[in-house]
Structure 1
Amino acid sequence: MRKLLLLLLLLVLLGPLGIDLYLPVIPHIAQGLNTQESLIQSTIPLFILVMGVGQLITGPLVDYFGRRPLALAGVLLYGLGAIMAAVAESSAMFVGSRVLQGMAVCCTTVALFSCVRDRLNGDEAARAFSFLNGTLNIVPALAPLAGGLMAAAFGWRAPFWALAAYAFLVLLLIALGLPETRPTGTRRALGLPLATYWQIVSKRRFLVFSLVNTGAMAMALTYVSLSSQVLMGDAGLSSLQFSFAFGANGFWIMFVSWIANRIIRKAGRPICLTIGTLLMAIGGLLLTASVTMSPLAWQAQWWSYMLPVAAACAGLAFLMGPAASYALEPYANQAGVASALNGFVQMGGAAAISLAFIALPIPPRISLALVMLLGGLFAITARYQVYLISQLSSRRVR
């Protein structure tokens, strides 16, 4: 099982690498392609949106063809998309490369979530999801700095050549080591299973727990999208200082995810959800207070932004593993379709929420605080759903 999780970790890293590696060089990309910086910046939520919507298509494919073929196809597309970005001579070509890479991550994400659901259940599945979600935060911890250093030495195209090299290394390792985990009883059908999608999403349990991860992902996406504006623009950090602040938060999430994994093992998923709910709400309240109640001199300091972010990101680490396992648990024979729908709700919903709040004519810190509070509200609803599940289980035992 450990070998499988390590291979799945290689797949899960493709998503954040596709975002964080080029964050510090966005101005250089815009300059190199003679386009507006806002257009290049918009490729971040576009990447997430394609990831989310595309999973509705890749979900049935991963059940029909299997986890391994979709994972291989996704990694191959990802490498081709990276090469396309590296050789882009126009903004249209660059945007197209991001769409292609978003489609690629649709395949790998559904495949890896389905693999976990195939092999694990309950607290074990929650711990696996928590491990994957936590460990991938080494990417925002190190990737911006690495991308900036590569661009400084070899130009803005270098990070994308690095992504291509990583993709083809992963392709080789997945081809040699990833087993097919699809159960023999999996329902297989080509085409969009709209009736099945509706049957799953209409279940209160699935929707409530999927929205938890939507709120958490929306918080992370809003933070990533606004961080350069707040930390470098408002707080006056240099690009190197920004990379260190951004990276430190990534290591913080890794550490908290390790703690969350231990708490799941010893106390179970409900306790983890409770802690995550409190931390997400605390982050939103702290950030709101820092804007509305603190002196202007404090608001210009980087820590007045990053401390509430750290609280909310700790909440994310506690929430995402248990929420994903609760959402997918009832769908052993529809793991691909259920994982795809969960990814669509999570990614598509997060992108929509993030874009909506960023577009509001309010300060960026308030935008992020509101998204944090919304994430806390989703988590509170999920915690109540856990209570209802436990009550129903008790009645059945009687």
Structure 2
Amino acid sequence: MQKFTLLLLSLVLLAPLGIDLYLPTLPEIALGLNTPVTTIQTTIPIFLLVMGLGQIVAGPLVDNLGRKPIALAGLLLYLLGSVLAASATGWPQFLTARIVQGCAVCCTAVVAFSGVRDRLEGDEAARAYGFLNGALNIVPALAPMLGGFLADAFGWRAPFWFLTGYALVIGLLIVRFLPETRPAGTLAVKGIPLRQYAHILREPRFLAFTFANAGAMGMVLTYVSLAPQVLMTEGKLTALQFSIAFGANGFWIMLVSVLVNKMIRKLGRPICLAIGSLAMALGAVTMLTGMVIFPAAMQSSWPLYMLPVAISVAGLAFTVGPATSYALEPYQQQAGVASALAGFIQMAGGSSAGLLAMALPLNEKLALSTMMIVGAVLAALAWLCSKKVRGTLTALKSS
């Protein structure tokens, strides 16, 4: 099972690598493509939106054709998108490359989370989801530094050539070692299963837990998008110092995720959801308190930003694993469809909420505090729902 989980992790890593590896090179990409850096920055939410929307299509394909074929198709698309980005000579080609990569990761993400649902249930599934989400944080911990080193040595295209090589290696491993886990009784669907999606969306349980994940995702996306402005432009950190601060937070989430996996076994998933809500609320209170009690001259100090962030992202670690397992638990025969819909709500909903928070006439800290509060409220609603969970739902009818 450990080898199986690591293979799924290698697929899940494609998404954060596609974001974090090239973060330090955004100014160089803008210069190389003769495009404003603000335009290049839009490829982050575009990537996430495509990933979210694409899962609506990828889910039925995973249930109809199997996990392994769709994983390989996603890896092939990722390789193609990486080559297009590495060889881009203008903005249109670079944008196309990012859209192709977004389509790729929607396939691999659905395969990974469907695979967990195929093999595991209950607390075991929650720990697996927590491991996948926790291990993901090694990417924001190390990827910006790796991307910066590659760009310094070989230019801004080097991170995308690295992604090309990664996709190729993982593809070979998937061909050789990933088993097909689609259950024999999986319901086949024709086209986009709107009826099945509608059935799932009518379940308050599913909505409560997936929106909790979307709130946490929106909070993190807001942090990631605003961190360069707060830490580098206002806080005067160098690119290396920024990478260290950004990376330390990633390691912190990973450590908290290890703790969460142990607490799930001893205290149960509802307690973890409650702690997640409280942590995000405490992060918001800490951020707002710092804005009130410290003088203007200290507001650009990086600890006043990173301490509340560290508290709040710990809430993310406590929320995602339990919420994901609760949301997908009833759908053994529709794991691909349910995983796709959950991923769509998490990625598209989270990115949209984050973009809305950043579009409001608020400064960076207030915008992030707003998303922390939203995440805390949604996690609290998920906790309340978890206390009412009894048994599982019946299978859905095929459309």
Question: TM-score surpassing 0.5?
Answer: yes
1:61–1:190 Cα contact (<8 Å) kept: no
For residues 145 and 349 of structure 1, what CA distance do their matches in structure 2 show? Answer: 29
For residues 381 and 77 of structure 1, what CA distance do their matches in structure 2 show? Answer: 37
Q: Which amino acid in the other structure matches residue 270 of structure 1?
A: P
Local SS of the residue matching 2:313: helix
For residues 353 and 164 of structure 1, what CA distance do their matches in structure 2 show? Answer: 31
Local SS of the residue matching 1:388: coil
Is 1:28 aligned to residue 28 of structure 2?
yes
Partner in structure 1 of residue 250 of structure 2: 250
Partner in structure 2 of residue 315 of structure 1: 315
2:218–2:349 Cα contact (<8 Å) kept: yes
Partner in structure 2 of residue 274 of structure 1: 274
- Residue 289 of structure 1: CA displacement? 1.9
Q: Per-residue displacement from partner, 1:201-238 (whole Å, max 9, x unpaired)? A: 11000000000100111111111111100000111101
1:219-234 to structure 2, matched below 5 A, reads: 219-234=219-234
For residues 107 and 309 of structure 1, what CA distance do their matches in structure 2 show? Answer: 30
Local SS of the residue matching 1:320: helix
Partner in structure 2 of residue 166 of structure 1: 166
- Residue 277 of structure 1: CA displacement? 1.1
Q: Which amino acid in the other structure matches residue 161 of structure 2?
A: W
Is 1:111 aligned to residue 111 of structure 2?
yes
1:85–1:98 Cα contact (<8 Å) kept: yes
For this pair of structures, how many residues does the alignment match? Answer: 393
For residues 293 and 105 of structure 1, what CA distance do their matches in structure 2 show? Answer: 43
Closer, same or farther: CA 153–391 of 1 in aligned 2, 3 Å: closer
Task: Provide structure 2 residue ranges, at least 5 long, that are not aligned to the other structure.
Answer: 394-399
For residues 297 and 269 of structure 1, what CA distance do their matches in structure 2 show? Answer: 43
Q: Which amino acid in the other structure matches residue 113 of structure 1?
A: F
- Residue 390 of structure 1: CA displacement? 5.5
Partner in structure 1 of residue 121 of structure 2: 121
Partner in structure 1 of residue 331 of structure 2: 331
Q: Which amino acid in the other structure matches residue 210 of structure 1?
A: T
Partner in structure 2 of residue 176 of structure 1: 176
1:372-391 to structure 2, matched below 5 A, reads: 372-389=372-389
Q: Per-residue displacement from partner, 1:79-133 (whole Å, max 9, x unpaired)? A: 1101100000001110110000000000000011100000001000000000000
1:263–1:272 Cα contact (<8 Å) kept: yes
Is 1:148 aligned to residue 144 of structure 2?
no
1:1-398 to structure 2, matched below 5 A, reads: 1-389=1-389
Local SS of the residue matching 1:34: coil
1:28–1:156 Cα contact (<8 Å) kept: yes
For residues 289 and 89 of structure 2, what CA distance do their matches in structure 1 show? Answer: 45
For residues 300 and 259 of structure 1, what CA distance do their matches in structure 2 show? Answer: 32
Percent identity for Structure 1 against Structure 2: 57
- Residue 58 of structure 1: CA displacement? 0.5
Partner in structure 2 of residue 396 of structure 1: none
Local SS of the residue matching 1:88: coil
For residues 392 and 218 of structure 2, what CA distance do their matches in structure 1 show? Answer: 31
For residues 156 and 279 of structure 1, what CA distance do their matches in structure 2 show? Answer: 37
Q: Per-residue displacement from partner, 1:139-173 (whole Å, max 9, x unpaired)? A: 00000001001101100000000010001000000
**Structure 1 vs Structure 2 CA RMSD:** 1.3
Runs ≥4 in structure 1, deviation > 4 angstroms?
390-393
TM-score w.r.t. length of structure 2: 0.97
Q: Which amino acid in the other structure matches residue 229 of structure 1?
A: Q
Local SS of the residue matching 1:172: helix
- Residue 391 of structure 1: CA displacement? 11
- Residue 392 of structure 1: CA displacement? 11
2:329–2:392 Cα contact (<8 Å) kept: no
Local SS of the residue matching 1:389: coil
For residues 388 and 132 of structure 1, what CA distance do their matches in structure 2 show? Answer: 26
Partner in structure 1 of residue 397 of structure 2: none
For residues 25 and 285 of structure 1, what CA distance do their matches in structure 2 show? Answer: 33
Local SS of the residue matching 1:169: helix
2:330–2:392 Cα contact (<8 Å) kept: no
Q: Per-residue displacement from partner, 1:283-334 (whole Å, max 9, x unpaired)? A: 1111122223432133110010000000111110110000000000010100
